[in-house]
Structure 1
Amino acid sequence: MTTPRLPSPVPPPARPPSTPEGGPSASGRSASPGGWPPAPGATPTAGGTPPPAATPPLKGRNEDRRVLDDLLAAARTGRSGALVLQGDPGIGKSALLEYAAARAEGLRVLRSAGVETEAEMPFAALHQLLRPELARVRALPGPQALALNGALGLGDAAGDDRFLIALATLSLLSEIAEDGPLLCLVDDAHWLDRASADALLFAARRLDAEGVALVFAARDGFDAPGLAGRRLGPLDAGAAAELLAERDPHLAEGVRNRVLAESRGNPLALIELPRTADPFTPMPLPRRIQEAYEARIAGLPDGARSMILLVAAEDTGDLGTVLRAAGRLGLDAADLGVAERAGFLTVGGGAAAFVHPLMRAAATHSAPFDRRLAVHRALADALDGEDDRRAWHLAAAAFGPDEQAAAALERSAGRARERHGHAAAAAALERAAELTADPGPLARRLTEAAMAAADAGLPERAQALAERAVRLVEEPRSIARLAELRARIAFERGSVHTAHDILLSGADRVAELDPVAAGLMLVDAGRNAWQLSDPRRVEEAAARLRRLRLRPEDGLDAAVDAVEAAAVSLNAGPAGALPAMRPLARDARGIERGSYGLRINGAFVAGLVGEFETQRQISVALVEECRTLGMTGLLPIAYVTLAGAELYLGRFRSAAADAAEGLRIAADTGQPHRTGYLEGILAWIAAVEGDEGRCAGLAVRCADHFAATGIANGLAWSEWALAALDLSLGRHTRALDRLEAALTGPVRHQIQAVYFAPDQIEAAVRAGLPDRAKEPLERLAEWVDVARLDWADAVLARCRALLEPDDEIFSAALRPHGRPLERARAGLGYGEWLRRERRRRDARPHLRAALETFQRLGAGPWARRAAAELRAAGEATAAPAASDRLAALSPQELQIVRLAVTGLTNREIGARLFVSPKTVSHHLYRAFPKLGVSSRVELARLGPDLDPDTAT
């Protein structure tokens, strides 16, 4: 394949003859770090690279090179991977990227780099990386194409979910890789703008079978969770000596030994320390090298020094802007040439760039204050109109309150938010606030900066800005917004009590002026208190809501009813809250689109009142809508309600797949507070499957969430899962003790206290302690009497039959009701009793049906118990077989197969599951033989066998 040349954003010229070896490389950075200098004048292309044999050898770095070679080899075979190279300045990160580019025979190469002064320009680095392939955006699904074009400034902003842009980035990389394997190199990733970093890291975590290799090089502090990383250490003694001898062969032996010792294996230090007047001053290496650069700059003519400072301040390297600003300062191209020949800059192709980032820092640090102001003013004058860079240069040229600069930054922030550049918007608004003297605009800018920082996933920064703003704001809506923001941050940090108190205080401040805003805050406060299982706090929120002057047209009646019901539930028990809660769930089921908060709350309430099919219907529609529209941020909570409904309905494989997907997206979108419930569902399923190690590990994590946040749901799931495991493995007394202990704490207020009552009763009966079944039986019966649900009546009948066996009661327990595990447990209990009564023939059909259901559900311990009882009843049984054709599928394979059977294309499936079409194809290829099919046509013929509604 012929690899097209990639136009570099900063095309470097050939090295000037006077530049010492170690000057500019093809990337515009020092070629020295890492130990291999390209031959003088060599300029490898970014898109097409020489074959490996032509690559000069790196000094040392054998293991690092092996890792990169393996990554490239995997990409050539269609496998994807991502790697983060981290280390100190000058340690050789950029050189290893050059090595990868030089070894990338047969791979398309895309490159980008973070620039410190571009860190507030949203999607700057992403645009740089994707610029040669932007024509392919039109091939993406519609919402993704609109979102990416809007983010990159190629069209109007679209959508309201920043992760849709990240998904579009993944899709575009996959699209590019359709023509052959792809290598993406991102240098100085610690200086990436936040929006680009979010998109690229999201894509990197989702890469699988596209043939894409993505390599980041960054200093320490670049956070890349979920990606493989290598920290670069110093060169070994031999490689360091070899590099120094190659670069400075005439050093005196004493100086050579001191340089080797002082450089501590840092390649850039090995190059620069011999040039320094006093290379052995006691300070950190990066600072020592920077001072060496400062000394070299100080020896240049005044015009060259000013030109170097101008390039340092101009963040894009655009040569036209640099020269226009230079003219305003009385400089010209000759000054630029002096700086280039001195080895500080590379100039060509309409761009100017520094050879090494430390040179930029040296130029800025060594310049006097008045010269820095003059340079920024000249750059602002050189940029016309509403250019974002002009706003920042105006701000940099200000040394006191400056409304012109502040207003320009505020407008820049607005443009950034339209493109989902929330971090950039927060920075611009914060700087605008610093330049603002009027208290009114100052309060507004701080408030908006706090909101933008929160939207960018920067809670600490948002908190600090909100605390500053809250002392200044007087307008009711701003008071409410800040209270909601501060409460949200406190909640996400695990301080749920603090969040509750912030909301109550905020509601008090606006109750007279804006009762609706106060009502919304009190509803949130009530929900937080419900999750804490704190009856007093829920009642306090409900009482304050009753005192507000709310009208029916305010649209809060249902939400207020929910808080009232929560107060009743925590004070009088779940049964008392059922009449008030049930209409909320049914109203939510009738909403077809939008109204996401009402529908999510309705799905939760449906789970609380035992209407699991309603909960599933609401949740399926929510997940489908979020997938279709790319609303990634809402998906974790939608998966919480969906996976919960599927668990209760016995659709364990679907529940596990959806919970796993919810966890992945929660990690991608920075929502750790959503994980406890999902991990609880997985722990409970592991208990039913008899996977003791997995159950215990997940249960510990659920309990840890409770310890950190006080949210009782996590603790309830943890205790129930461990008790369910004990019960399934025959440890009945331990299960009983655990559930009784759980009821002495906040779990007693959670709905799980009703739903695990049957396990508590069965544990007591099987442990020979029927007296301890009395209280849970009363608790369950009270709730069932009000619930009036078929499944609840049947489960209560099973519990009564365990205490007082009777054919009629067992028959009531076996009526179909949509919860197969509970019905199979009733059949097992009936069969056991019939066998003990010597009615072995009557027992066999019930035991056989229970065994088949347990096997189909993957409930291994229960299946083994049913098989043992069936043998004792006189019927030989085969060893438990795989439950069905879905059992061998991984959670992600199951997700993909479930969508493929509906007729969606790989591209459509990828868009809904936030993976690439190639990943979809890869998983289908793996799933087909497990299902006994070889094509999509055969897959479709399986029909109901692959329908999650009928698979269990």
Structure 2
Amino acid sequence: MRVLRGSGIESASELPFAALQMLLRPLLDDLDTLPKPQAEALRGALGLTARTTEPDRFLIGLATLTLLAEHSPLLCLVDDAHWIDHASSQALLFAARRLDVEGVVLLFATRGSGGDVFAAAGLPDLMLAGLDRESALQVLAEHAPGLPGHVRDRIVAEAGGNPLALIELPGMDTDSLAAGPLPLPHRLQEAYQERITALPSDTRTLLLALAVEDLPAALQATGLPVDALAPAEREGLITVTGAGAAFRHPLVRAAAYQGAPFAERAAIHRALARAVGDDRRAWHLAAAATGPDEPVAAALEHAARQARRLSGHAEASAALERAARLTATAPDRARRLTAAAELAADSGRLDRARALIDQAVHLGGTSAERVRLRARIEFGHGSPEAAWRLLLDAAPDNEDLLVEAARVAWSVGDTAGLRAVKERLARDDGLAALIAGTIELLSGDPGAGLDLLRRHTADAPERRVGADGLRIGATSLALLSGDLRDARENLLRLSDGLRSGGAIGLLPGALAVLAESETLLGLTRQAASTAAEALRIAQDTGQHRHASHAGGLLAFLAALRGEEPSGEGDWAGRARAMLDLGRGRFEAALDRFEALACRPQGVYFTPDQVEAAVRSGRPERAPIARWESWAEASGRQWAQAVRHRCLALLADDPEEHFEQAVVCPDLPFQEARSRLLNGEWLRRSRRKNEARRQLRAALELFEQAGAVPWADHARTELRAAGESAASPSEDLLARLTSQELQIVRLAATGATNKEIGAQLFLSPKTVGHHLYRAFPKLGVSNRTELARLNLLTQMM
């Protein structure tokens, strides 16, 4: 296999994509083989082209995956991964989680707790234990024969089975070993320090410079020839090649740097600052500073802006935090700490962001910006109530924070939060109307709420109210008003635009809402495929809220198939309610539906709540007025059809209502539900011929949707009506996984593996592998036969 090597370097850990550039350097001449958005993102991240806009950091990870896959078979070795910069680690982790059949191995080596990041990302790990005593004695006998017994035993005890220690410690001064036990890294560093101290002065100086910069910069800063490294090379402390110089072990680098007095380190940093570029210059000057220094702090702030332009949010945060420590005045220090906290939150480091914002508040008080950031952190930690309360408590002098509080409460359906915001509003305008409409929609008169929302969003498709805006856009309004097909079309266009622009970070949210619209439309197969993709990308990009949303939708779709759902959240709760309803556990279903009635999109499940109430013998708990109000305001034919189904359940003579309920062409699952109930009533009324017609139609629609409990119910009713229903016909597409389904759908349009990979953020080899597995399941052997199956029609 071809081998690529990279390494984390402590002094370069604040430089975004430094480690990635080291690893990918041999492949960079082939960037033109990547899809254009990926190539541009990777070039910008690695500084190979000027960028004025910030690239999607996840697109950089995808470009890394595609580039590695293009050069397989490939082994990538990343040493000291605990020191690689955050931007590089995120790109490499994104690629690693998506490796499948590419023929690429990514191997990260870390020390101490450095592997936690990689293990938490879901990568398999192997913890290396120390050698046992017998093996340790064998290593010592090979590398340091003839040691006195007491020295040998002391080294074995100190080494703790570490092979490097067993090799290096015998060279230490015996008095140092006798001084007492030390943590092993300290003991090894001490061993290397003894050897460095014995080197000539020029060698030590050049090693000190080399500990924090590459060889050309070290030579330029010190003015020394490369020959000055020869004594260290003979000692086996470094290796010098035409490509540069490398320390034998990171502890040698640490010993070369930390063993030098501060005055020498500061002098080297000042010399290196004259030899390197602007961003590195700021860090070297900061390392040499002995107190507040505004010019250096300003230079670090500039370096942070540059890092952010490359999507290096964690590195930018570190630069601003260091700048704050060099800032003399409290207001400026608080400003820089606030900016550092925001960037830490952007990089997913919410705990670090909280610590930084607390420091900023201590120095500079509570500003609107800091309150908003604190609320964002609480929301990210899964505490929406704490988030809106923070915003609400700080809002008397800043109505923009009220907008934020309303947005947070709206996103989780917290009507108490929305009412608290409305009570605080000092004005009676569009914002107040939007909040009032939202409250009505969630827990009052949904028809009146919908009318309010429409009136105050009709003047612009994406109207903004307030500084940050409580957005009720065209797509949101379509979802709220039952215009599900329009909402789906808007969301398909949005997701296609995000795909073509490589905006991976924004895609999971759009896909989750798209899957929601498809679920409500009854497009269960497509919804499952969309939600699975949303979940996969959200997990890869660390977006837990979107992952939870997509996971809940998958749980709901699983419940429709008759499977026990898992997970938490609104959609997972609805999943359990629907499974109860489908299996005839009506009382349990009613309790669940009532608990979720005031959550976002809860109005769509009002008819299910009505059915559960009637069929459990509790018609007084059927919220028929709520559905009638919303159905009238929505103006949708399907909503009126479902209204008639609800009225039929409550009527003594339901026939007229059933006749109108079964005319529901836009939502086949809802039509099937109405036909099933109508068929049941007709059978009980001894009108078996008419019942069979309705039940056959219901069964066909349920089977198309994969709604097993409902199909089983329809089949049972058919038998009771005197007709033996055939066993369900085999569904070819049901054989496919959600990812295979997505790939097959695109392949059926004639898209190439490379084009499919670019759309789905997979490597072309993974696409080919999934097609290879999907073809036999569908009984085809190539794309031509695939097109003949007319799969696109089946999947809509």
Q: Contact 1:584–1:602 (CA<8 Å) still a contact in 2? A: no
Q: Contact 1:585–1:614 (CA<8 Å) still a contact in 2? A: no
The one-letter amino acid paired with 2:608 is D
Out of 385, 402, 405, the position equivalent to 1:497 is 385
The one-letter amino acid paired with 2:770 is H
CA drift at 1:588: 7.7
Percent of aligned pairs with the same amino acid: 51
CA 1:641 to 1:837, structure 2 compared with 1: closer, same or farther past 3 Å? same
Q: Contact 1:851–1:863 (CA<8 Å) still a contact in 2? A: yes
Which residue of structure 2 lines up, in the alignment, with residue 124 of structure 1?
18
CA 1:811 to 1:869, structure 2 compared with 1: closer, same or farther past 3 Å? same
TM, length-normalised to structure 1 = 0.78
Give the 3-state SS of the residue equivalent to 2:780 in structure 1: coil
Which residue of structure 1 lines up, in the alignment, with residue 48 of structure 2?
154
Q: Contact 1:426–1:448 (CA<8 Å) still a contact in 2? A: yes
Which residue of structure 1 lines up, in the alignment, with residue 740 of structure 2?
893
Q: Contact 1:136–1:175 (CA<8 Å) still a contact in 2? A: no
2:108 equivalent to 1:216: yes
2:605 equivalent to 1:725: no
2:30 equivalent to 1:136: yes
Which residue of structure 2 lines up, in the alignment, with residue 203 of structure 1?
95
CA 1:903 to 1:470, structure 2 compared with 1: closer, same or farther past 3 Å? farther
Give the 3-state SS of the residue equivalent to 1:880 in structure 2: coil
The one-letter amino acid paired with 1:204 is A
Give the 3-state SS of the residue equivalent to 1:112 in structure 2: strand
Give the 3-state SS of the residue equivalent to 2:105 in structure 1: strand
Which residue of structure 1 lines up, in the alignment, with residue 69 of structure 2?
174
2: distance between equivalents of 1:659 and 1:598? Answer: 26
Which residue of structure 2 lines up, in the alignment, with residue 749 of structure 1?
598
CA 1:143 to 1:230, structure 2 compared with 1: closer, same or farther past 3 Å? same
The one-letter amino acid paired with 1:240 is A
CA drift at 1:526: 0.4
2:163 equivalent to 1:283: no
2:155 equivalent to 1:259: yes
Matched length: 784
Out of 318, 321, 332, the position equivalent to 2:217 is 321
Which residue of structure 1 lines up, in the alignment, with residue 404 of structure 2?
524
2: distance between equivalents of 1:122 and 1:495? Answer: 31
CA drift at 1:665: 1.6
Alignment of 1:658-677 (within 5 A): 658-677=530-549
Which residue of structure 1 lines up, in the alignment, with residue 197 of structure 2?
298
Alignment of 1:374-393 (within 5 A): 374-383=267-276, 386-393=277-284
Which residue of structure 1 lines up, in the alignment, with residue 670 of structure 2?
822
1:863-893 deviations in whole A, cap 9, x for unaligned?
11111221222222222223x3322111111
TM, length-normalised to structure 2 = 0.92
The one-letter amino acid paired with 1:448 is A
2:686 equivalent to 1:838: yes
Q: Contact 1:797–1:810 (CA<8 Å) still a contact in 2? A: yes
Q: Contact 2:613–2:621 (CA<8 Å) still a contact in 1? A: no
Q: Contact 1:777–1:799 (CA<8 Å) still a contact in 2? A: yes
2:645 equivalent to 1:798: yes
CA 1:251 to 1:639, structure 2 compared with 1: closer, same or farther past 3 Å? same
2:608 equivalent to 1:759: yes
2: distance between equivalents of 1:927 and 1:636? Answer: 25
1:525-583 deviations in whole A, cap 9, x for unaligned?
102122454434313434555539x8xxxxxx5x6653332233356343321112346
Which residue of structure 2 lines up, in the alignment, with residue 409 of structure 1?
300
Out of 848, 851, 855, the position equivalent to 2:699 is 851
Give the 3-state SS of the residue equivalent to 1:382 in structure 2: coil
1: distance between equivalents of 2:443 and 2:608? Answer: 24
The one-letter amino acid paired with 2:94 is F
Which residue of structure 2 lines up, in the alignment, with residue 360 of structure 1?
253
Q: Contact 1:801–1:810 (CA<8 Å) still a contact in 2? A: yes
Which residue of structure 2 lines up, in the alignment, with residue 114 of structure 1?
8
Which residue of structure 2 lines up, in the alignment, with residue 188 of structure 1?
80
The one-letter amino acid paired with 1:728 is G
Which residue of structure 1 lines up, in the alignment, with residue 632 of structure 2?
785
CA 1:565 to 1:737, structure 2 compared with 1: closer, same or farther past 3 Å? closer
1:235-282 deviations in whole A, cap 9, x for unaligned?
244433332222123223444344334422211121123223244632
2:777 equivalent to 1:905: no
CA 1:860 to 1:473, structure 2 compared with 1: closer, same or farther past 3 Å? same
Which residue of structure 1 lines up, in the alignment, with residue 723 of structure 2?
875
Q: Contact 2:754–2:763 (CA<8 Å) still a contact in 1? A: yes
Deviates more, 1:266-275 or 1:436-445: 436-445
Which residue of structure 2 lines up, in the alignment, with residue 47 of structure 1?
none
The one-letter amino acid paired with 2:9 is V
2:372 equivalent to 1:372: no
The one-letter amino acid paired with 1:860 is V
Alignment of 1:11-26 (within 5 A): none
CA drift at 1:357: 0.6
Q: Contact 1:657–1:892 (CA<8 Å) still a contact in 2? A: yes
2:165 equivalent to 1:249: no
Deviates more, 1:419-428 or 1:797-806: 797-806
CA drift at 1:648: 0.7
CA drift at 1:113: 0.6
Q: Contact 2:676–2:695 (CA<8 Å) still a contact in 1? A: yes
CA drift at 1:122: 0.9
Which residue of structure 2 lines up, in the alignment, with residue 487 of structure 1?
375
Q: Contact 2:447–2:629 (CA<8 Å) still a contact in 1? A: yes
CA drift at 1:936: 2.2
2: distance between equivalents of 1:340 and 1:438? Answer: 47
Which residue of structure 2 lines up, in the alignment, with residue 678 of structure 1?
550
2:196 equivalent to 1:342: no
Q: Contact 2:597–2:605 (CA<8 Å) still a contact in 1? A: no
Alignment root-mean-square deviation, CA: 2.8
Q: Contact 2:54–2:308 (CA<8 Å) still a contact in 1? A: no
CA drift at 1:925: 2.0
2:444 equivalent to 1:537: no
1: distance between equivalents of 2:364 and 2:748? Answer: 55
1: distance between equivalents of 2:280 and 2:264? Answer: 19
The one-letter amino acid paired with 2:571 is W
CA 1:801 to 1:870, structure 2 compared with 1: closer, same or farther past 3 Å? same
1:375-413 deviations in whole A, cap 9, x for unaligned?
212222333xx4322221111111112233223222222
Which residue of structure 1 lines up, in the alignment, with residue 529 of structure 2?
657
Q: Contact 2:699–2:715 (CA<8 Å) still a contact in 1? A: yes
- Segments of structure 1 that go 5 or more residues without pairing to the other structure are 1-106, 512-517, 551-556, 703-713
1:124-143 deviations in whole A, cap 9, x for unaligned?
11111111111111121222
Alignment of 1:913-924 (within 5 A): 913-924=760-771
CA 1:734 to 1:490, structure 2 compared with 1: closer, same or farther past 3 Å? closer
Q: Contact 1:683–1:718 (CA<8 Å) still a contact in 2? A: yes
Alignment of 1:20-99 (within 5 A): none
CA 1:602 to 1:523, structure 2 compared with 1: closer, same or farther past 3 Å? farther
CA 1:922 to 1:773, structure 2 compared with 1: closer, same or farther past 3 Å? farther
Give the 3-state SS of the residue equivalent to 1:734 in structure 2: helix
Out of 338, 353, 363, the position equivalent to 1:462 is 353
Which residue of structure 2 lines up, in the alignment, with residue 164 of structure 1?
59
The one-letter amino acid paired with 1:167 is L
2:285 equivalent to 1:394: yes
Which residue of structure 2 lines up, in the alignment, with residue 31 of structure 1?
none
Deviates more, 1:401-410 or 1:651-660: 401-410
Give the 3-state SS of the residue equivalent to 1:347 in structure 2: strand
2: distance between equivalents of 1:505 and 1:734? Answer: 39
2:752 equivalent to 1:941: no
2: distance between equivalents of 1:657 and 1:599? Answer: 28
2: distance between equivalents of 1:833 and 1:772? Answer: 17
CA 1:736 to 1:864, structure 2 compared with 1: closer, same or farther past 3 Å? same
The one-letter amino acid paired with 1:239 is S
Q: Contact 1:589–1:618 (CA<8 Å) still a contact in 2? A: no
- Segments of structure 2 that go 5 or more residues without pairing to the other structure are none
Give the 3-state SS of the residue equivalent to 2:762 in structure 1: coil
CA drift at 1:678: 1.9
1:905-927 deviations in whole A, cap 9, x for unaligned?
22222112111111112112222
